Structure 1
């Protein structure tokens, strides 16, 4: 009889982890992802490979291809701090494509790092390092802290940055802990610092809430140094990013367990793609985000042939997404997809990439064909309509008006 321990060991022998990083032009940042992958492999006792969304190799799909030959299960763990577009769109899209390419392989999609006690403790230690440098004592001095994140167009991600700052404040002797961002949203770090100066704290500790030490952390240090020079009565300095601190492995280990047991919990109650939030009403349904993800990935598809700049975009004139979700598939979407591809291959003028898409939120009106960046959606498309879409829209930029379902 097989013991529970040996059964668990057998299961572990047949699975692997893919650590999904963003990718950077700075190889040092990519090496940090690989270092975390190696540390996680030692921690978990299963193979862990690193894959990247862009700018670095291997891509997520190539990394999955490499693992698929030796295991039957892969858990994708996101090396992302917050749940924004990469977590909600780009990685899931890559996972769906990998599932289609490897039908016998089970791929679990995990969650981002998110809010975790280990990360709060790590920030506390980063703050203590800066306090020591400035000669401050939070128990006796008025020490203000600014947690500075990258900033996102996703309110979910920005809200989590505020939550993290609040958790850092709770139970600690800081005078106050504020949230700021490098860009995209408000308050920007420079504005937050100037507001803090009005309270005349003894010191200001700025914590860049970022993984790698790159352009953004350099900007945080620069802005903090400028502030320190402008306000001589306030001592200010910026700390180090999270880097490869071992506590990240604690979080990644938890996210792996969630992924492999299908117990991932996303913040769906405040997701702009699922609920109507003020100011983000047009994003409900995720269709635009899906098209953005498809187009952005297409823009990187040919970068392997570029020697001098791995981020050069050589995107086609059009990206065509064909919904092949259950309802559209039943209505003939696979045949529409194939006929579009064939018509594009037969055309001398067509410059388009034609791919599958998950649900575009127009169930019952399909098959749906979305042409991007024009933002034209065709509904009720029949296989016989494929040649018209290619010859009119893709070849000559003439919209096939009788097929138009909506325009974005």
Structure 2
């Protein structure tokens, strides 16, 4: 992986992983970046969405003076909030800061023939360990993903499972999740066991050998002990296999040629889906992303779970895009931070945001989860916002621009 760029490169690639408190997982991202660099013959650096350094913004700032074009590719299996909100938000902010730098944004790993082949190989390895052969024995497969609050992402898990089933001699291939949504892994294993297959192969659909992957392995082992008449075993994660690098290279090429296709027809941030009406809308989606980032910044270290939140009560986003910046948004941002730090009872996270689509009415200050937007905020207004709204939940009515 390229760490130092002493001369100006025409093009560079930034591979963005999720980030983990486990350095082993972060090292995997750097390993994939190094392999991708060799594959593309282009400089490739690594960055992280959270929990690890460098953050996307810091990596872009470091690389900006060294190149003329940057391709940002998320190292994510499916497109949920991080891919749809966090990465685009960081790039959009960078575009406003670096006028001379041409940005391309790639797609997530997604559903790709190379990934299906890799999963097939992982399944065969488990079959060998269990002493079964799908051509001669009844072998069922459970593809277990993390699980998401995004129906588009969860739907892709089921599609991938179906593609793994087609053309192969598995008795069945089912989808399951380790958290957030259903069906959960334990439930699916029990249902599949009722058909009494000779073996059940569990495939953790994870990139690294982290907390959630281990949880899948542990639950599979528990199931194997409880059901002696069905042999069960779990594979390892996708890891740094060369086929993952091949898919990343394809995603880079799509981005560089402007042929990236996102699943916008079923994206809850773009269209209204039943049960997800509150998520639809660009500004809402972006602000939910900011809130999520704040939750992770303030998380507690409970059971080494990377998604246990210790969130602040409120999140304040200040638009610092061009027109708001010209109206003094930077000063408003710093005054809000200072006032909230000095307050006696104010559990709040204050951060900058990119354009909130209210140009000419700023500086815009958005308070969540209250969904209150203040407009035309001056530095002198910050004390009232903190003392009334953030400390005592009393909205400053004369400053309200709109509510969502």
Answer whether TM exceeds 0.5 for this pair.
yes
Q: Which residue of 2 aligns with 1:382?
A: 376
1:107 is paired with a residue whose SS is strand
Go from structure 1 to structure 2 and tell me whether the alpha carbon gap of 1:175 and 1:293 turns closer, same or farther (over 3 Å shift). same
Q: CA deviation at 1:368?
A: 4.5
Go from structure 1 to structure 2 and tell me whether the alpha carbon gap of 1:312 and 1:158 turns closer, same or farther (over 3 Å shift). closer
The CA deviation string for residues 73-129 of structure 1, in whole angstroms up to 9 with x for no partner, is 110011000000110111111112222332211121111000000000000000000
2:76 is paired with a residue whose SS is coil
- 2:100 aligns with one of 104, 109, 122: 104
RMSD of Structure 2 on Structure 1 (CA):
2.9
Q: Which residue of 2 aligns with 1:337?
A: 329
Q: Which residue of 2 aligns with 1:168?
A: 164
Q: Which residue of 2 aligns with 1:115?
A: 111
Find the aligned partners of 1:137 and 1:96 in 2 and give their Cα distance. Answer: 50
The CA deviation string for residues 142-163 of structure 1, in whole angstroms up to 9 with x for no partner, is 1100000000000011000000
Q: Which residue of 1 aligns with 2:5?
A: none
Q: Which residue of 1 aligns with 2:383?
A: 391
Q: Which residue of 2 aligns with 1:195?
A: 191
Does residue 37 (structure 1) correspond to residue 33 (structure 2)? The answer is yes
Structure 1: which 5+ runs fail to align? 1-11, 304-309
Moved more, 397-406 or 111-120: 397-406
C-alpha contact (below 8 Å) 1:203/1:235 kept by paired residues? yes
C-alpha contact (below 8 Å) 1:322/1:333 kept by paired residues? no
Q: Which residue of 2 aligns with 1:238?
A: 234
1:76 is paired with a residue whose SS is strand
Find the aligned partners of 1:116 and 1:335 in 2 and give their Cα distance. Answer: 47
Find the aligned partners of 2:286 and 2:115 in 1 and give their Cα distance. Answer: 30
Aligned residue runs from structure 1 range 7-406, under 5 A: 13-298=9-294, 319-323=315-319, 329=323, 334-335=326-327, 337-338=329-330, 340-341=332-333, 343-344=335-336, 347=339, 349=343, 353-359=350-356, 368-378=364-374, 381-383=375-377, 387-388=380-381, 390-397=382-389, 398-406=394-402
User: Would you say how many aligned residue pairs link Structure 1 and Structure 2?
Assistant: 382
Go from structure 1 to structure 2 and tell me whether the alpha carbon gap of 1:336 and 1:316 turns closer, same or farther (over 3 Å shift). farther
Q: CA deviation at 1:58?
A: 1.5
Q: CA deviation at 1:24?
A: 0.9
Find the aligned partners of 2:142 and 2:158 in 1 and give their Cα distance. Answer: 10
Go from structure 1 to structure 2 and tell me whether the alpha carbon gap of 1:106 and 1:206 turns closer, same or farther (over 3 Å shift). same
Q: CA deviation at 1:224?
A: 0.7
Find the aligned partners of 2:108 and 2:369 in 1 and give their Cα distance. Answer: 29
Find the aligned partners of 2:27 and 2:35 in 1 and give their Cα distance. Answer: 12
Find the aligned partners of 1:312 and 1:161 in 2 and give their Cα distance. Answer: 23
Find the aligned partners of 1:108 and 1:83 in 2 and give their Cα distance. Answer: 17
